């Protein structure tokens, strides 16, 4: 062996007339020597002792992780290669245990690592093993055989085994599964279309009929045919509903407008009930829940100060709270001590009627005495 082929940083050479040996370990590690007879055409036998760089536990760990990833990818197409990789992974874990036995490395973890690496190595089957397994299963239990194929027909090893064992059954099962996939895809698409149409009918009923015509022409023709009778029924239902039933009227006029999108009457009624429902929901969220009475008291103080001659001298009791009267109106009754035009402190009683709106608070009336 020529020295020029080996970097100086990787070896130290000794020569003798006997053998050629490789020492791959550091002084504090077990010696592993490999001896062999030199080439026949060599006139003089030599001993070359090569000292390889020391591999730390991080390098071995990286090697084991690389084997794990490789086994995962290879197992998809080649169980035999994956089996060999798993065995190599288990051996890497054993090397880590032996080589770094003096370190607190987590020996339990490494033992489990080696065990779990070997487990899939013996669980995975090659194509020939899978074919033998399927042949035996077909003889012993036909229903279980078909069930196993249905569950694992996407596995490449199972498909290859079935191609040589029972190609007709494989083809029929693949056609059956493909039909099921197509039916499932169609059902999902129809469900998504129906959700889109339902949402559109609520948010924009004027555009609903055109969308139905675009997505489902057959259904659109049936809707137009049944529309007059349905409109008559909905109008009769709307006449029986009281005007205070906001949700009921909103639902009916939404349906009516979706069936007759150019009706000005339906557009006006729908807009009216939409605004009424929005106002009711806003009032429920801002006027009857939370602490609107405290806000009413603070707003009343603001309006009272505007009517005083010396608002900077005003002193109010604490707390000042309003009383909810319904329809987002509040009544605040309290008193204020403030200086009059002559500089004397005078107590005045007041009663303020306030209205809370989406744009803010409004003063309905203010009485002071």
Which of residues 12 and 283 earns the better pLDDT score? 283
The model's confidence at residue 282, banded by pLDDT at 50, 70 and 90, is confident
Q: What is the pLDDT of residue 31?
A: 41
Lookup: tokens for 145 = 């055989």
Res. 290 pLDDT band, cuts 50 70 90: confident
Residue 48 pLDDT > 60:
no
For 345, residues 6+ apart whose C-beta sits below 8 A from its C-beta are 313, 337, 338, 339
Most confident of 156-165, 166-175, 200-209: 200-209
Average pLDDT, the chain: 76
Question: Where is average pLDDT lowest: 15-24, 67-76, 161-170?
Answer: 15-24
pLDDT of residue 55: 56
More confident residue, 161 or 252: 252
pLDDT tier, 226 (very low <50, low <70, confident <90, very high otherwise): very high
Confidence of residue 253 (pLDDT cuts 50, 70, 90): very high
In this prediction, residue 348 carries a pLDDT of: 92
Higher pLDDT, 350 or 102: 350
Per-residue pLDDT tens for 55-111? 565 666 676 666 666 655 555 445 555 556 566 666 666 666 666 555 555 555 555
Q: Would you state the pLDDT for residue 233?
A: 94
Residues 6+ apart with CB under 8 A from 277: 246, 247, 250
Pair of tokens at residue 74: 């290879």
What pLDDT does residue 83 have?
58
Proportion of the chain above pLDDT 70, given as a percent:
66
pTM, entire model: 0.50
**Tokens 């009032």 label which residue?**
283
Q: What is the model's pLDDT at position 340?
A: 87
């Amino acid at each position: 062996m020529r020295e020029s082929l080996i970097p100086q940083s990787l070896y130290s050479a000794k020569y003798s007339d006997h053998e050629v040996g490789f020492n791959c370990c550091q002084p504090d590690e077990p010696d592993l020597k490999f001896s062999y007879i030199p080439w026949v055409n060599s006139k003089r036998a030599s001993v070359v002792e090569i000292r390889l760089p020391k591999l730390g536990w991080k390098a071995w760990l990286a090697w084991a992780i690389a084997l794990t990833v490789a086994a995962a990818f290879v197992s998809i197409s080649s169980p035999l290669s994956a089996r060999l990789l798993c065995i190599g992974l288990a051996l890497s874990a054993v090397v880590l245990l032996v080589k770094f036995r003096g370190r607190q490395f987590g020996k339990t973890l490494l033992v489990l690592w080696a065990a779990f690496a070997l487990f899939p190595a013996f669980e995975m089957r090659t194509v020939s093993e899978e074919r033998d397994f399927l042949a035996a299963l077909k003889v012993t239990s036909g229903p279980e055989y078909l069930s196993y194929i249905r569950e694992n027909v996407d596995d490449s090893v199972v498909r290859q085994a079935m191609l040589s064992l029972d190609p007709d059954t494989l083809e029929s099962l693949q056609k059956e599964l493909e039909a099921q996939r197509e039916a499932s895809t169609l059902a999902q698409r129809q469900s998504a279309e129906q959700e889109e149409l339902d949402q559109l009918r609520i948010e924009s009923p004027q555009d609903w009929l055109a969308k139905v015509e675009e997505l489902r022409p057959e259904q659109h023709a049936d809707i137009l045919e049944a529309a007059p009778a349905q409109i008559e029924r909905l109008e009769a239902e709307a006449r029986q509903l009281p005007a205070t039933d906001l949700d009921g009227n909103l639902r009916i006029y939404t349906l009516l407008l979706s069936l007759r999108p150019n009706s000005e009457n339906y557009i006006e009624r729908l807009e009216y009930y939409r605004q009424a429902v929005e106002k009711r929901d806003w009032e429920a969220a801002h006027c009857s829940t939370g602490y609107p009475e405290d806000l009413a008291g603070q707003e009343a103080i603001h309006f009272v100060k505007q009517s005083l001659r010396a608002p900077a001298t005003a002193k109010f009791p604490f707390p000042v709270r309003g009383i909810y009267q319904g329809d987002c109106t509040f009544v605040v009754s309290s008193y204020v001590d403030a200086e009059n035009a002559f500089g004397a402190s005078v107590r005045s009683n007041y009663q303020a009627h306030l209205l809370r709106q989406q744009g803010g608070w409004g003063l309905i009336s203010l009485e002071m005495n």
